[in-house]
Chains A and B, each alone.
Chain A
């Protein structure tokens, strides 16, 4: 009798608490290893903190770290480099990726092979990507300079004079396929009827692309673009291996500067404040993406209601 009672009890409580039990492990780990560290970092950014002391032993300095950074020309340079890198990388990748998708959206043999081989660059380790490109850019051994030399041209100091450009090219190689594949997926899920109608009305290829394909792909493209932009701020290993941020500060993106401030200069408080600046930038991008998503959902639901009403 009691066992039956407790069984029913268990089942009832199980039902009410089930979602929490399912969520519990994930919540514990994310609080412990993501949210708590983030809070710890914000707290630490107001302190004069070096790696040999624990945070409670360090002294409170208020906004000093933030102000120091704000006035630090090196930090500004590094912010500028980060923005230059992220914006140019995303622009080129979007143009090339979407362009290729529009060009190759047809029944071609070997497309599946192309897609498979195309995702290889983004699957292998960034460290390895940096390694390959550092070899290819090598002043005497690299394929680029050997190629130039064999046709009788001057060799180029890729990772010296044109470091930022070289790093951008490597990132374009690695990540254009991402845009290409998403854009292709978006293209192939477009309503065939709209394209058919345009063709019957005699729209040329360009007109179809500009007036029908691109507008219809836009929601996916914007999300893709924002995702890629967020990821571009995370790039670190490729640049670390290729140039170590140099020469000078020419390729020292913020992520790299944070890690150097923490490990070489041993100023954890400043590094934490820098992380916060980076985080604020990314937060704005993410909020932008969320707002855009909400707006699209709202528009879709209104369109559906209108269709139903009619």
Chain B
């Protein structure tokens, strides 16, 4: 922190740093600027900042949850607001559950010696590399055909009577179906990262708590968890990021009412006439939560990233 360790550096290095910052942030800034432009302005190419900023694109995007009527729009085609809420539910629930389940498992893998421990950690590491595309086929088949409750059974008929619909009650098309696969996808990574944090918790602390009569669960929740908060923060951000950003599996598993934001963006991009302004606004809305996390918790993110790779 002292200034004398910070020797004067060649101004060229500052030029490089500034250039890198522009390269990293430039494209995102471009999207931000364009999201406030009307399509007319985007196409005519008024460069720079000489344009009338408008929030019309955001209004169009969020038309289904805005409390007031929009003048420029006679029909709300883009159900973005609903998708935003779906994304929020799915990302938050799967993050919380992944963290709870993941840190219990990481704790067991680090602290206890038991049969099958090595197999468990090796499996965790191996499934980390499975790409979502590989899961697409089996998950689609299983969630639609096997993970179902027969509509003739009492629970199935109960759900059908209350929520409507036909056929067996299946995981596909529900929030829980998407949440389940996100938890499974994120668990290996979360366990991996948290292990490297739990190893650093001094054993004496846990033993002292045990002497005072705390059970294993009390030790875990009252002693270990508070100490690995930075690790939990990092793991939470990474899990949220994947659950919030994921497209492929969500698109295979969701139905009309459970679409998430990335699905809407891809669908709108593949149309012939791309409405750039509105698309940029939706992209910006999807990007804002991760950007906020990054700006406020970059330290945790970097620790998590390095812990993940350097500890291998």
Question: A22-B107, A33-B180, A36-B142 given as contacts; is B31 within 8 A of A15 (CB)?
Answer: no
Out of A100, A119, A278, which one reaches B298, CB within 8 Å?
A119
Out of A100, A220, A259, A268, which one reaches B141, CB within 8 Å?
A268
User: When the two chains form their complex, are residues A124 and B104 in contact, meaning their CB atoms are under 8 A apart?
Assistant: no
B123: chain A residues at CB < 8 Å are 30, 35
- Whether A213 is near chain B, meaning CB under 8 Å from some CB there, is no
Please give the distance in Å from A111's CB to the nearest CB on chain B. 7
Q: Which of B114, B129, B302: most chain A CB closer than 10 A? A: B129
Please give the distance in Å from B285's CB to the nearest CB on chain A. 10
A202: chain B residues at CB < 8 Å are none
The stretch among A66-74, A203-211, A279-287 that forms the contact with chain B is A279-287
B117: chain A residues at CB < 8 Å are 19
User: When the two chains form their complex, are residues A40 and B138 in contact, meaning their CB atoms are under 8 A apart?
Assistant: yes
A167: chain B residues at CB < 8 Å are none
- Whether B47 is near chain A, meaning CB under 8 Å from some CB there, is yes
User: When the two chains form their complex, are residues A23 and B14 in contact, meaning their CB atoms are under 8 A apart?
Assistant: no
Bound Cα distance A256, B131 (Å)? 11
Out of A49, A146, A268, A283, which one reaches B45, CB within 8 Å?
A146
Out of A33, A103, A141, A182, which one reaches B184, CB within 8 Å?
A33
User: When the two chains form their complex, are residues B310 and A186 in contact, meaning their CB atoms are under 8 A apart?
Assistant: yes
- Whether A128 is near chain B, meaning CB under 8 Å from some CB there, is yes
Interface footprint category on B: 35 or more
Question: A26-B187, A108-B13 given as contacts; is B108 within 8 A of A224 (CB)?
Answer: no
User: When the two chains form their complex, are residues B146 and A54 in contact, meaning their CB atoms are under 8 A apart?
Assistant: yes
Out of A35, A109, A118, which one reaches B20, CB within 8 Å?
A118
- Whether B105 is near chain A, meaning CB under 8 Å from some CB there, is yes
Bound Cα distance A256, B136 (Å)? 11
User: When the two chains form their complex, are residues B20 and A15 in contact, meaning their CB atoms are under 8 A apart?
Assistant: no
Question: A131-B283, A132-B30 given as contacts; is B302 within 8 A of A286 (CB)?
Answer: no
User: When the two chains form their complex, are residues A30 and B24 in contact, meaning their CB atoms are under 8 A apart?
Assistant: no
User: When the two chains form their complex, are residues B137 and A275 in contact, meaning their CB atoms are under 8 A apart?
Assistant: yes
User: When the two chains form their complex, are residues A104 and B13 in contact, meaning their CB atoms are under 8 A apart?
Assistant: yes
Contact with A along B115-133 (1 / 0, CB 8 A): 0010010111111111111
Interface residues of A in 97-118 (CB under 8 A from B): 100, 103-104, 106-118
Bound Cα distance A259, B140 (Å)? 11
User: When the two chains form their complex, are residues A241 and B126 in contact, meaning their CB atoms are under 8 A apart?
Assistant: no
Question: A26-B104, A283-B129 given as contacts; is B286 within 8 A of A127 (CB)?
Answer: yes
Question: A33-B183, A119-B298 given as contacts; is B131 within 8 A of A124 (CB)?
Answer: no
Interface footprint category on A: 35 or more
User: When the two chains form their complex, are residues B24 and A268 in contact, meaning their CB atoms are under 8 A apart?
Assistant: no
Contact with B along A119-161 (1 / 0, CB 8 A): 1110111111011111110000101001000000000000000
The stretch among B52-60, B63-71, B262-270 that forms the contact with chain A is B262-270
User: When the two chains form their complex, are residues B134 and A34 in contact, meaning their CB atoms are under 8 A apart?
Assistant: no
User: When the two chains form their complex, are residues B28 and A121 in contact, meaning their CB atoms are under 8 A apart?
Assistant: yes
Bound Cα distance A76, B101 (Å)? 41
- Whether B49 is near chain A, meaning CB under 8 Å from some CB there, is no
User: When the two chains form their complex, are residues A141 and B126 in contact, meaning their CB atoms are under 8 A apart?
Assistant: no
User: When the two chains form their complex, are residues B137 and A120 in contact, meaning their CB atoms are under 8 A apart?
Assistant: no
Please give the distance in Å from A239's CB to the nearest CB on chain B. 11
- Whether A89 is near chain B, meaning CB under 8 Å from some CB there, is no
User: When the two chains form their complex, are residues B105 and A26 in contact, meaning their CB atoms are under 8 A apart?
Assistant: yes
User: When the two chains form their complex, are residues A117 and B241 in contact, meaning their CB atoms are under 8 A apart?
Assistant: no
- Whether B272 is near chain A, meaning CB under 8 Å from some CB there, is no
User: When the two chains form their complex, are residues A131 and B265 in contact, meaning their CB atoms are under 8 A apart?
Assistant: yes
Interface residues of B in 13-47 (CB under 8 A from A): 13-14, 16-17, 20-21, 23-25, 27-28, 30-31, 34, 42-43, 45, 47
User: When the two chains form their complex, are residues B295 and A116 in contact, meaning their CB atoms are under 8 A apart?
Assistant: yes
Question: A100-B20, A262-B137 given as contacts; is B294 within 8 A of A127 (CB)?
Answer: no
User: When the two chains form their complex, are residues B31 and A23 in contact, meaning their CB atoms are under 8 A apart?
Assistant: no
B185: chain A residues at CB < 8 Å are 34
Out of A116, A262, A278, which one reaches B131, CB within 8 Å?
A278
User: When the two chains form their complex, are residues A136 and B184 in contact, meaning their CB atoms are under 8 A apart?
Assistant: no
- Closest B residue to A57 by beta carbon equals B145
- Whether A230 is near chain B, meaning CB under 8 Å from some CB there, is yes
- Whether A20 is near chain B, meaning CB under 8 Å from some CB there, is yes
- Whether B84 is near chain A, meaning CB under 8 Å from some CB there, is no
- Whether A227 is near chain B, meaning CB under 8 Å from some CB there, is yes
Interface set of B (CB-CB < 8 Å, partner A) = 5-7, 9, 13-14, 16-17, 20-21, 23-25, 27-28, 30-31, 34, 42-43, 45, 47, 100-102, 104-105, 107-109, 112, 114, 117, 120, 122-142, 145-146, 180-181, 183-185, 187-188, 191, 215-216, 220, 241, 244-245, 247-248, 252, 262, 265-266, 269-270, 276, 279-280, 283, 286-287, 290-291, 293-295, 298, 301-302, 305-306, 308-310, 312
17 A-B pairs in the complex with CB atoms less than 8 angstroms apart: A14-B215, A18-B216, A25-B100, A33-B181, A37-B139, A114-B21, A116-B295, A121-B24, A123-B290, A124-B291, A132-B31, A133-B27, A182-B306, A230-B129, A237-B262, A255-B131, A258-B137
